[in-house]
């Protein structure tokens, strides 16, 4: 029997269902959503909320989109899923054709994964198998930069920030990786050539044991919403080439236009050896990700020395329903309206958010593409802040000291204004620290 009393559902939820990073004893309050359309979520309690989160970077074209709905309906009437071992289908082929039209030249060998974290695991496996194939199995460690986030599975966790991340809990079970300092220079600073030597040190000292460098390009997302200087990425590319280390870029949050470029690597004009995409791949309709590499890496990984095959194959690999929606979402990206949409959002965010940095409770304000961040001096009381935002008719979920938005690209000027006014109002309600 269906229980359609949403208040009872909330109660059941609180007792039985885990939410992301929450306690089963003292969970944060949860809101019951009835539906979502365009750039708005409708709560069962009646409120209509402008969405500032894109459901964690994913819903770039907004909710309940007619073209994406149609792609899902058409596919589900044919088949929802078949195994990918020994079978293929139009949705997977279409999706990868659309995807490789977007990726840099040569990045055209695609492993379809079921979530961002899994795509990072696969990227790491590729890099390890690559060096086994080349008969240098001692190259099996990873270098990353502090402040990163790459997912919640174990290999991905091993390259998340060792302080903010979950390392302290799982230290005993995680592989020890190498961590370079957080980039000192922001995206907007003038470059200082001495920054290069800090990075070079790690390569000089450890290159013989390094399989790959793993980084989020330009924007460190869940690890602190920091935006760093493109020259770090340029230097990493040069050092990887010079010292024979693979470069893995995690574009799961930054991919598909979010930073104002199609992929964040374009800010530094570099191409990785392996890249991960996820989140916005289906525009938030369902879970899907991909690990993309070039012919050289793909063929080396497939060498007889490492068994002749890439050793990964999830049950729901290449899920046709998810691929059909992703193919349509990527077709929309290929049509190119995102450029104007993201540029317009960026201008409006710059205009409405950057001046808030003058408030004493705000440590920093920064905007890149369709990402707007207020870093506060003090950590934010999430439950209290969300209550305020809901009264303002907006959905914004802060974490730590960060109050940030990354709205759907289709947001209107008035809707975006509603988000930034709510943020400004929250800031002005704070006492100077
Ligand atoms: C969200 C995210 C992941 C993990 O993706 P999931 O789909 O949650 O497993 C990995 N890397 C980055 C940069 C992310 O933002």
Q: How far is the CA of 374 from the centre of ligand 1 (A)?
A: 21
Report whether pLDDT(165) > 80.
no
pLDDT at residue 1 is higher than 80: no
3-state secondary structure of 60: coil
Matching residue, tokens 């899920």: 319
Please tell me the residue having the least CA distance from ligand 1 atom 5: 116
Q: How far is the CA of 407 from the centre of ligand 1 (A)?
A: 17
Q: Is 63 a catalytic residue?
A: no
CATH code: domain 31-64+337-429 is 3.90.1150.10
- Chain position carrying tokens 């899923």: 81
Is 21 tagged catalytic? yes
What integer pLDDT is reported at residue 247 of this predicted model? 98
Name the token pair of 206: 């450890």
Contact indicator for 241, 209 with CB cutoff of 8 Å: no
In tens, the pLDDT along 308-363 reads 999 999 999 999 999 999 999 999 999 999 999 999 999 999 999 999 999 999 99
**109-113 and 402-405 strand pairing:** unpaired
Domain ranges of the chain: 31-64+337-429, 68-335
* Residue of 279, 285, 352, 426 with catalytic role: 279
pTM above 0.95, yes or no: yes
Q: Average of pLDDT values for 391-405?
A: 97
Tokens standing for residue 61: 């074209």
| CATH code given to domain 68-335 | 3.40.640.10
Tokens (6 digits) for 78? 């044919």
- The two three-digit tokens of residue 400, written as one number: 């730590």
Q: Is 193 annotated as a binding residue?
A: no
* Length, in residues, of the chain: 433
Tell me the per-residue pLDDT of 147-163, one tens digit each, with 9 for 90 and over. 999 999 999 999 999 98
């Amino acid at each position: 029997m269906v229980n359609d009393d949403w208040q009872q559902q909330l109660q059941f939820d609180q007792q039985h269902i885990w939410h992301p990073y929450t306690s089963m004893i003292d969970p944060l309050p949860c809101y019951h959503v009835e539906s979502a359309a365009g750039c708005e979520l409708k709560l069962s309690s009646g409120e209509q909320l402008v969405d500032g989160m894109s459901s964690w970077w994913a819903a770039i074209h907004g909710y309940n989109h007619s073209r994406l709905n149609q792609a899902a309906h058409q596919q589900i009437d044919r088949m929802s899923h078949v195994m990918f071992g020994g079978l293929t289908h139009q949705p997977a082929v279409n999706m990868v054709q659309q995807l490789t039209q977007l990726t840099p030249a040569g990045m055209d060998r695609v492993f379809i994964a079921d979530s961002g974290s899994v795509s990072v695991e696969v990227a790491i496996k590729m890099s390890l198998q690559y060096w086994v194939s080349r008969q240098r199995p001692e190259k099996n460690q990873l270098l990353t930069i502090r402040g990163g986030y790459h997912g919640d599975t174990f290999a991905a966790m091993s390259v998340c920030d060792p302080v903010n991340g979950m390392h302290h809990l799982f230290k005993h079970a995680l592989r020890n990786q190498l961590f370079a300092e957080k980039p000192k220079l922001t995206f907007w600073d003038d470059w200082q050539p001495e920054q290069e030597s800090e990075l070079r040190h790690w390569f000089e000292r450890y290159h013989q044991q390094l399989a790959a460098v793993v980084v989020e390009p330009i924007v460190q997302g869940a690890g602190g919403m920091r935006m760093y200087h493109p020259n770090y990425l340029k230097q990493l590319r040069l050092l990887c080439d010079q010292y024979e280390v693979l470069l893995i870029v995690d574009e799961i949050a930054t991919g598909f236009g979010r930073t104002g470029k199609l992929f964040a690597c374009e800010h530094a004009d570099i191409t990785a050896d392996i890249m991960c995409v996820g989140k916005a791949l289906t525009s938030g309709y369902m879970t899907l990700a991909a690990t993309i590499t070039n012919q050289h890496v793909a063929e080396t990984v497939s060498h007889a020395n490492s068994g002749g095959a890439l050793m990964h194959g999830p049950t729901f690999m290449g899920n046709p329903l998810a691929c059909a929606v992703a193919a349509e979402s990527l077709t929309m990206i290929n049509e190119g309206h995102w450029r104007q949409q993201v540029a317009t959002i960026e201008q409006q965010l710059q205009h409405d958010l950057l001046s808030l940095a003058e408030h004493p409770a705000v440590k920093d304000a920064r905007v890149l593409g369709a990402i707007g961040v207020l870093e506060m001096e003090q950590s934010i009381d999430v439950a209290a802040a969300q209550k305020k935002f809901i009264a303002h008719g907006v959905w914004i979920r802060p974490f730590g000291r960060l109050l940030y938005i990354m709205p759907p690209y289709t947001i209107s000027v008035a809707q975006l204004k509603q988000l930034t006014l709510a943020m400004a109002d929250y800031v002005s309600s704070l006492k100077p620290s």
